Chain A
C-alpha cells in the first residue's frame, strides 16, 4: 500500500514545537555542526588503542567489535573497582537540580541532555541496570536502561559535548565532578575505538615528537629562532633562547600553539623578553615542547604517558625546577595528576626564584611553577621596569580559564600582572568569573572546525558577559591564560562580539617591559602603533 500523502491543507499545519520525548530515549541525530569527526585509524594504531578503522559518527554502522557490550560492562566494572570517585558519583546524586542550569552547553543550546545531571544519568542509568540489585530486578522502574548501540551513540554525542570545565561541580552540594564522569565515559568509548581525531591526532603527535602539531626539533628551533629575530626588530634587543641546554637552572614548558598560532605568538614574544631581561638561566626543550596533554581527554593511562616527558626532560637536562606557560588543561594535569602519576620528582629542587629569592612552597611537590606566579612575584619585588602606558590602546577584561581557575585556584596572580602592566581593566559580572567562570566552549578537544555551531552555543554565556563589558566599559581585549581559549575565544568574539581581540597576559608584559638597551618603542608586539606614537610609526 502506498504511503499516505498529505493534503495541501495538512502541509500548512506545521508544528514548530519539538516533539516530546523522554530522556531515556537514546536516539540522537548527528546534525552537521554539532559533533566532531572520528579519529583516523592511523592515529589510533600509533597509540596502540583498540579497534582502529574508518568510520564517522553520521554512519549507520559504527563497526563496533562483536563483543562490544561485554567490553563496556567489563570496562565499567573495572573502573568502579579502581576509582572510588566514579562509584560514589554513580550512587550519590539526589537529583536536586543545582547543576542543571550551570552548564554552558545547556545555557546556550537548551538541550536538556546537556544538563550535567542528565549527562551523568546517561551512564548512571546503565550502571543501575547492570550493577545495582534494584536495577537488575526492576530495570526501567528503578531508573535502569538497557545498554544498546543507540546508548553508545548517545554517549559519544554527549560526552563529546562536555568540555570537562567543572563549572557544574562548583554548585553540586555533594561535589560530584561531572568532568570525571565524562572522562570515564570517554575512556569506555575509547575501549570500542570511539574517539575524535582532534584529540587522538594531537595525542599521537605528542607521543611521537613531543608536541601536538608533530613539529620536529629543527622546526621547533626554527619557530623560536623566528620569534627571536622578530623581537629584535621590534625592540632592538637580541634575546637568547636556549634549546635543550644541559645544566640550565630552569626548564620552560608551554603549549605548542604559543610558537605556532596567533594570538598565542605574542605571548611567546613576551616570555622571551621577560626571561632575557631578568637574566634567567633557563632552557626550552624541543622534546618537551608541549604543555598541553590531550591524554586528559582520552584516558588516565594516556595522561600519564604524555605527561611523562616533562620530568624525563627535566632529568635529562639536569635542571633544578620547571616553569610552565599559559596553558589551561596542562595545569589540571600538573596540579592534580602529575605528582602521583609520574612523581615524586625528588631529583628536582623546591622552586626558588633566583631573582627574588621567593620559595614557591605551593609547588614544593611538583616542582613546577605557573608563569603568572613567577611574574607576579617579580613585579611585587620590584624587579621589572614596566611602562603600562604602552598598553593604553587596550581596555582589558580577564577570562578565568577553567582549569587554572577551578583546578588550581589561580585567581589573583593573573589579575595582579594585568593591573601592573595595563591601566584600563574591567571585570566581567561576578557570576561569570573566578570559580564561576564560563568555559570558552571548546575545551577537552572540542575546538574543531566541524563542531562550529556547538562551540558557538557553548561559548555564548562567556561571550554574553564580554559583550556587556564591551558595551558598557569599552573593553576591546579579552585576556586569558590558556592556549585553547586563545584559539577559540578569538573565533567566539568574531561571531558574538566583533571588535574585541584576544590576548595572553605575557603579551601585556612584553609590551610594558622596559628592556635594557631597547630602541624607542613605537608599536606593540602586534605592530600596532602605540598611543601617541602614531606619527613616529608612520
Chain B
C-alpha cells in the first residue's frame, strides 16, 4: 500500500515520463508535432496518446475503474495497430511503466522489503499488456474481415445478380 500511495503522489511525473517515452517510439520530428499541437482535429494521434495514456496510468495506479480503462486501451491500441510498428512495438510502451515507476518511487521504496508490493504493481502492468495484446489480435482479425467486406462491396452488382438467379432458377433447373 505504501508503494501505491507514494506513486499516487508522483502521478503527474509518471504520466509525463510515460508520454515522453511513447513519443520517442515515433521519429524525433514527429514526436514534437504530436506533443505540441493541441487541436485534437489537427493532431488526432497526439490527442489520442495524451488523453488515453492518462486514463491507463490511472488504471494501473488504481485511480480509474476497469470500465474506464478498457475503452482507452482499445482506442490507443487501435491506433498503433495500423501504424508502422511490429506487434511487440505496438504494446511495448506499456512495459515502460515498470521502469518509470521505479525511477519515480525513490531509493527507499526500491529497497528489498518492498518486493511484494512491486510484484503486485508489475502484475497490474502485465495485465494491461495482456489486454493490449488481445485488442491488437482482435484488431488484426477485424482488418481481415473489413478487407473481405470491401472486396464484396466492389462487386456488389455481381453478387446481387447472382443471388437473383439463385432465387429464381430456370424452369426444370435443380
Task: List chain A positions with a Cβ less than 8 A from chain B.
Answer: 14, 16-18, 20, 31, 33-34, 100-101, 106-112, 115, 222-223, 226, 257, 259-263, 265, 429, 431-432, 449, 452-453, 456-457, 460-461, 464-465, 468, 487, 490-491, 494-496
Contact between chains at A108 and B44 (CB < 8 Å): yes
Contact between chains at A20 and B44 (CB < 8 Å): no
Most chain B C-beta atoms within 10 Å of own C-beta, residue among A107, A115, A261: A107
Question: Which residue in A17, A33, A453 is a CB contact (below 8 Å) of B25?
Answer: A17
> 10 nearest interchain CB pairs?
A110-B30, A262-B156, A464-B44, A456-B82, A110-B26, A112-B29, A453-B82, A17-B24, A429-B41, A494-B146
* Cβ-based interface call for B37 (8 A): yes
Which residues on B sit within 8 Å (CB–CB) of A100? 33
In the bound assembly, the distance between CA atoms of A453 and B85 in angstroms comes to 11
Contact between chains at B27 and A110 (CB < 8 Å): yes
Which residues on B sit within 8 Å (CB–CB) of A461? 41-42, 44
Contact between chains at B150 and A491 (CB < 8 Å): yes
Which residues on A sit within 8 Å (CB–CB) of B29? 112, 115
Contact between chains at B160 and A226 (CB < 8 Å): yes
Contact between chains at A494 and B149 (CB < 8 Å): yes
Measured between C-beta atoms, what is the minimum distance from B164 to chain A in Å? 8
Counting chain B residues whose Cβ lies within 8 A of the other chain, the interface size class is 35 or more
Which residues on B sit within 8 Å (CB–CB) of A17? 24-25
* Cβ-based interface call for B142 (8 A): yes
* Cβ-based interface call for B151 (8 A): yes
In the bound assembly, the distance between CA atoms of A222 and B157 in angstroms comes to 10
Q: Mark B16-52, 1 if CB is under 8 A from A, else 0.
A: 0000000011111110011001011111110000000
Measured between C-beta atoms, what is the minimum distance from A399 to chain B in Å? 14
In the bound assembly, the distance between CA atoms of A16 and B26 in angstroms comes to 9
In the bound assembly, the distance between CA atoms of A326 and B40 in angstroms comes to 30
Within 8 A of A (CB), among B132-174: 142-143, 146-147, 149-151, 153-158, 160-161
Given A16-B24, A17-B24, A495-B143, is A260 in contact with B41 using a C-beta cutoff of 8 Å? no
Q: Mark B48-61, 1 if CB is under 8 A from A, else 0.
A: 00000000000000
Which residues on A sit within 8 Å (CB–CB) of B92? 14, 16
Measured between C-beta atoms, what is the minimum distance from A18 to chain B in Å? 6
In the bound assembly, the distance between CA atoms of A429 and B47 in angstroms comes to 15
Cross-chain pairs A/B with CB under 8 angstroms, 13 sampled = A16-B89, A110-B45, A111-B27, A112-B27, A112-B29, A112-B30, A260-B157, A261-B156, A261-B157, A262-B156, A263-B153, A460-B45, A487-B150
In the bound assembly, the distance between CA atoms of A234 and B79 in angstroms comes to 41
Contact between chains at B157 and A431 (CB < 8 Å): no
The number of A-B residue pairs with CB atoms under 8 Å apart is: 112
Task: List chain B positions with a Cβ less than 8 A from chain A.
Answer: 24-30, 33-34, 37, 39-45, 78-79, 82-84, 89, 92-93, 142-143, 146-147, 149-151, 153-158, 160-161
Contact between chains at B150 and A107 (CB < 8 Å): no
In the bound assembly, the distance between CA atoms of A429 and B34 in angstroms comes to 19
Interface SS, B side: helix
Question: Which residue in A101, A106, A261 is a CB contact (below 8 Å) of B153?
Answer: A261
Contact between chains at A223 and B157 (CB < 8 Å): yes
Which residues on B sit within 8 Å (CB–CB) of A457? 82-83
Which residues on B sit within 8 Å (CB–CB) of A18? 25-27
Question: Which residue in B24, B43, B44, B146 is a CB contact (below 8 Å) of A495?
Answer: B146
Q: Which residue of A lies closest to B149 (CB)?
A: A494
Contact between chains at B147 and A452 (CB < 8 Å): yes
Contact between chains at A431 and B26 (CB < 8 Å): no
Which residues on A sit within 8 Å (CB–CB) of B82? 33, 452-453, 456-457, 495
Q: Which residue of B lies closest to A488 (CB)?
A: B150
Which residues on A sit within 8 Å (CB–CB) of B143? 452, 495
Q: Which residue of B lies closest to A113 (CB)?
A: B27
Contact between chains at A109 and B25 (CB < 8 Å): no
Contact between chains at B147 and A449 (CB < 8 Å): yes
In the bound assembly, the distance between CA atoms of A96 and B39 in angstroms comes to 20
Q: Which residue of A lies closest to B24 (CB)?
A: A17
Which residues on B sit within 8 Å (CB–CB) of A259? 157
In the bound assembly, the distance between CA atoms of A16 and B155 in angstroms comes to 42
Measured between C-beta atoms, what is the minimum distance from B89 to chain A in Å? 6
In the bound assembly, the distance between CA atoms of A81 and B156 in angstroms comes to 46
Which residues on A sit within 8 Å (CB–CB) of B142? 495
Question: Which residue in A20, A261, A429, A460 is a CB contact (below 8 Å) of B28?
Answer: A20
Question: Which residue in B42, B83, B156 is a CB contact (below 8 Å) of A110?
Answer: B83
Given A18-B27, A34-B84, is A490 in contact with B41 using a C-beta cutoff of 8 Å? no
Contact between chains at A107 and B24 (CB < 8 Å): no
Which residues on B sit within 8 Å (CB–CB) of A111? 27, 30, 84
Which residues on B sit within 8 Å (CB–CB) of A106? 30
In the bound assembly, the distance between CA atoms of A132 and B112 in angstroms comes to 67
In the bound assembly, the distance between CA atoms of A100 and B142 in angstroms comes to 32
Q: Which residue of A lies closest to B79 (CB)?
A: A460
Contact between chains at B161 and A109 (CB < 8 Å): no
In the bound assembly, the distance between CA atoms of A322 and B43 in angstroms comes to 41
Which residues on A sit within 8 Å (CB–CB) of B158? 260
Which residues on B sit within 8 Å (CB–CB) of A31? 84
